[in-house]
Amino acid sequence: MLTVQNVSKMYRLYRRPADRIVEAVSLNRVARHTDFWALQDINQTVARGETLGIVGPNGSGKSTLLGIICGVLEPTRGRVVRQGRVAALLELGAGFNPEFTGRENVYLNGEILGLSRAEVERAMPEIERFAEIGEFLDRPVKTYSSGMYVRLAFSTAINVSPDILAVDEALAVGDAVFANRCVRKFEEIKRRGVTVVFVSHDLSLVKLISDRAIFLLNGRIAAEGEPSDVINRYNGMVLERQKAFAATELELPAGVRPRYRHGDRLAEVSGVELLGRDSRATRVVESGEAVTVRVTARFHADEADPILGIMIRTRIGMDVYGTNTLLEKLPLGPCRAGEAIEVDFQFECWLSPQEYTLTVATQHPDGSSHDWLDEALAFTVVASRFTAGVANLRARTAVRRVERVTT
């Protein structure tokens, strides 16, 4: 069990290091700092076996809060009551000495967490099994890939029987298979009564494993409760910010920030929006949700037969699905200069939970671009069940016993 009471954290910001000395020498009679409240009035109680997810934009105080929860940082006001042993994964491989082997580091890490050598020895087979790094366990940690690093660190932290586990963005480095196993492991340690607090930008992960979530904004709790509600609130804020940002850049459609844009601009994409089930703009989609991609194009020249298309890609750039008005046999033209058209692509988004990007373009019939916006917007697919890969094929699983053993 973990209780956070009225926690606030203030940092003193100095413009120059010398200001700190001036203040110290004058015995705080001269104030040369500005107060910065990184956290204000945070109250939370996390029960035994409960998992709390923390989301929020960069600089909202997530990591500070996690640090205070672990006891690494001191709150300026308020207090944290922890019952039991705290294991923290605040940074990848913190406390690992690169010159030593994985096994030696596991021993030391275990002792840092307050275990005896015998206890670490007992946990070792399970740590080894879960980390699955094979013979690398007996090689120096400096030869590890970052994936191996995180596997070993994570495996150590969860197998030393903590009562409270705090994780900061650590799972992002593992591959999909490992992430999947971590999710299952989370379920298991939850059943063992471990209290888990974790910070993540991976909204689908938050939705998947947390029982409750909080959304931090500027050091305060902006929303708390059901993970999906909290994620929606967070998402709404992200959209507003993107719009505000886009408004400062000319020509770009609201909420759109392409990574790369090219084309002759005889026609221009003036709006891209992803609409959810309720026809409202969203960046988080439930797997299988009926969504609409609405693209608006404005023509600056007469076009006999333009094409408009979309492409969904994964975060690493793999094409997942793409179509256009030509493939859909939906002729747009002819279009006159000054005209604007709006095209809706409606589909049920049966993708597996992860992040995707949307690329949109208007083209000449020969395929050359008027306006091509690479990765114009990003969205996240969430699901209550984890699936590997990109397509959610909704397998129906059945089991039959085909051979019986009678005794």
Site for another protein, rule CB under 8 A: 3, 5-6, 11, 45, 67, 70-79, 81, 86-88, 90-91, 94-95, 97, 99-100, 104, 107-108, 111-113, 116-117, 140
- CB 371: neighbour CB atoms within 10 A? 23
CB of residue 93 vs another protein: minimum separation in angstroms?
Answer: 9
| Residue whose CB is less far from another protein, 79 or 259 | 79
| Residue whose CB is less far from another protein, 158 or 291 | 158
Q: Which of 266, 298, 46, 22 is nearest to 166 (CA)?
A: 46
CB of residue 6 vs another protein: minimum separation in angstroms?
Answer: 5
CB of residue 14 vs another protein: minimum separation in angstroms?
Answer: 11
Q: Which two tokens stand for residue 114?
A: 């307050």
> Can you name the residues that pair with 377 across neighbouring β-strands?
358
What one-character DSSP code corresponds to residue 253?
P
| Residue whose CB is less far from another protein, 103 or 300 | 103
| Residue whose CB is less far from another protein, 66 or 373 | 66
| Residue whose CB is less far from another protein, 81 or 244 | 81
Half-sphere exposure of 89 (CA within 13 A, CB side): 28
CA distance 180 to 336: 52
CB of residue 74 vs another protein: minimum separation in angstroms?
Answer: 5
CB of residue 83 vs another protein: minimum separation in angstroms?
Answer: 10
For strands 284-286 and 369-382, give the pairing: parallel
What one-character DSSP code corresponds to residue 252?
P
CA distance 383 to 304: 43
| Residue whose CB is less far from another protein, 93 or 276 | 93
CB of residue 371 vs another protein: minimum separation in angstroms?
Answer: 46
Q: Is 278 left (phi over 0), alpha (psi -120 to 50) or beta?
A: alpha
